[in-house]
Structure 1
């Protein structure tokens, strides 16, 4: 079976050099392996994703000389796939509802931190304290009846008991030099949200479902997602999904050492193109000087 790679941007801003590096690397690797490159639009966040950003993704990638298989998968069109996965996990007794607002969770964390250090997940966010697991079935029913906003969380303790210890194969390198066979540490994420009442999926859930349904064999992405792979391996194991080979690549950083980001206004490919930068220049800027042979 031919290898299948994918590039999966979110249309919540314009692509920058970091996206260019990841897209070009996936494109080159797919061509070298005689495989396919898929394009996925990760647009589950309806409040931030906009049609003009999606259109710009296609334009920027075509300008870079990248082509991809059709059709493009747009996550917002596949909520039924993600809902089916949450229903399966719920039937296994691995999900529970939580009803706190972000402000209420912040107050809960502040109370815990007043007693001493509180764990944070690999992204630096405080781990959810799990208080909703103690709600009685009657209270849960009443809150649902009252139409209180709800999130479905993975009971991490039960999930790890069901999955056992896990690893993944990484052909790249992690933020601390991890490579080869890497031990997954999903417990570091705590009881993560897998779906919300208004959006029946999350990044962690949708990405593993998409990779499986699209037959992705190689996941090539930035080091900022290295430890997310722990969660993805856990969900793959729980849902009997295939495990891709992973390759985490170094991030493209600005002159101050910070990673490029849409939210911080990093210079976009559109701006570079308008200023006279060529696709060949982009390859040199991201240290990919040669285009893969046809």
Structure 2
């Protein structure tokens, strides 16, 4: 893969293997890769396959093959969350011993009936905070969230502030189906892999304050964050959930690369690239995170494959 670097910069791309790579995910991969390479840093790939019920057989290999076709070469062995359960269990035990987690017996229906409305759905009302109700068994495990305002400075989106108890409530650490929750796993993974800069899609911006809070609870370092603009379909929905979420074509990567470069607000290349390697030779020296727009893009399926005019 890529050559070693003395830079302390360590970035990552962490797709879920639920299907082929679509243009919205490609945009995130390109942004994180370009930022790492522009800083002479290392770029890692992590497959987020915590939920085996959602994983599609062979999707991980298809995603990795597509990344290679687009010149997105990683520097270290690809890790799979499904093989890192001991790390998550250790973190959960640490939270338990500190009195920062508790078992929860509530069902989604009960939370919906009793919780107050929040930006992402009903806020957990704290039913089991003081102990399980009589004759109820634990279904999940939650993190105790203090009544704090957690701020995060984002290199693209600016400073954001979230009142965790009011807007989120006590977040799940282990789900009722037995899987570790994404919020716990991603915090543990980023710390264990020494991630310095997280460049990812803005759909995860709202999750960042609770991840920073969880980092504090576990005594883990906080990486820097930059949340790239989302790519929306013509229907206004996130591209991965839209009819426009067609897989990118690894057989013809240059049009999608050029289109993504344009949507990321970067200066057009000096010359039409002859191939993928030539694209990156021209692109990386000119990468500027400060040029990335924060507002989402609305495109159709065909636009994702059409390079902008220069």
The reply to whether TM is greater than 0.5 is yes
Residue aligning to 2:212 = 233
1:79 and 1:200 in contact (8 A); partners too: no
CA distance, structure 1, for counterparts of residue 34 and residue 207 of structure 2: 24
SS in 2 for 1:210: helix
Residue aligning to 2:33 = 27
* Counterparts of residues 56-205 of structure 1 (less than 5 Å): 56-109=62-115, 118-121=116-119, 124-135=120-131, 139=134, 143-144=136-137, 150-157=139-146, 166-173=150-157, 179=158, 181-187=159-165, 188-196=167-175, 198-205=177-184
- For the pair 1:258 / 2:264, whether they are aligned, the reply is no
Residue aligning to 2:13 = 7
Cα distance per residue 1:220-270 (max 9 Å; x no partner): 011111121100110111111111110011111222332201x44543325
Query: Cα distance, 1:136 vs. partner?
Result: 5.2
Query: Cα distance, 1:35 vs. partner?
Result: 0.4
- For the pair 1:267 / 2:256, whether they are aligned, the reply is no
Cα distance per residue 1:36-57 (max 9 Å; x no partner): 1100000001111123111111
CA distance, structure 1, for counterparts of residue 84 and residue 51 of structure 2: 13
CA distance, structure 1, for counterparts of residue 81 and residue 132 of structure 2: 34
User: What are structure 2's unaligned runs of at least 5 residues?
Assistant: 1-6, 270-278, 285-310
Query: Cα distance, 1:28 vs. partner?
Result: 1.1
SS in 1 for 2:44: strand
Calculate the aligned-residue CA RMSD, in Å.
2.3
SS in 1 for 2:103: strand
CA distance, structure 1, for counterparts of residue 140 and residue 254 of structure 2: 46
CA distance, structure 2, for counterparts of residue 136 and residue 70 of structure 1: 44
Moved more, 195-204 or 2-11: 195-204
Higher relative contact order (CA 8 A, sep 6+): 1
Cα distance per residue 1:154-209 (max 9 Å; x no partner): 1213xx5xxx6643331111xxxxx1x44453332101101136535211111111
SS in 1 for 2:122: coil
Query: Cα distance, 1:104 vs. partner?
Result: 3.2
Aligned residues: 261
User: What are structure 1's unaligned runs of at least 5 residues?
Assistant: 110-117, 174-178
1:44 and 1:199 in contact (8 A); partners too: no
TM-score by length of 2: 0.77
CA distance, structure 2, for counterparts of residue 136 and residue 51 of structure 1: 38
CA distance, structure 2, for counterparts of residue 217 and residue 83 of structure 1: 23
TM-score by length of 1: 0.81
* Equivalent of residue 253 in structure 2, options 243, 268, 279: 279
Q: Mark the CA change 1:200 to 1:4 in structure 2 (over 3 Å): closer, same or farther.
A: same
Cα distance per residue 1:16-64 (max 9 Å; x no partner): 1111111011111111110011000000011111231111111211111
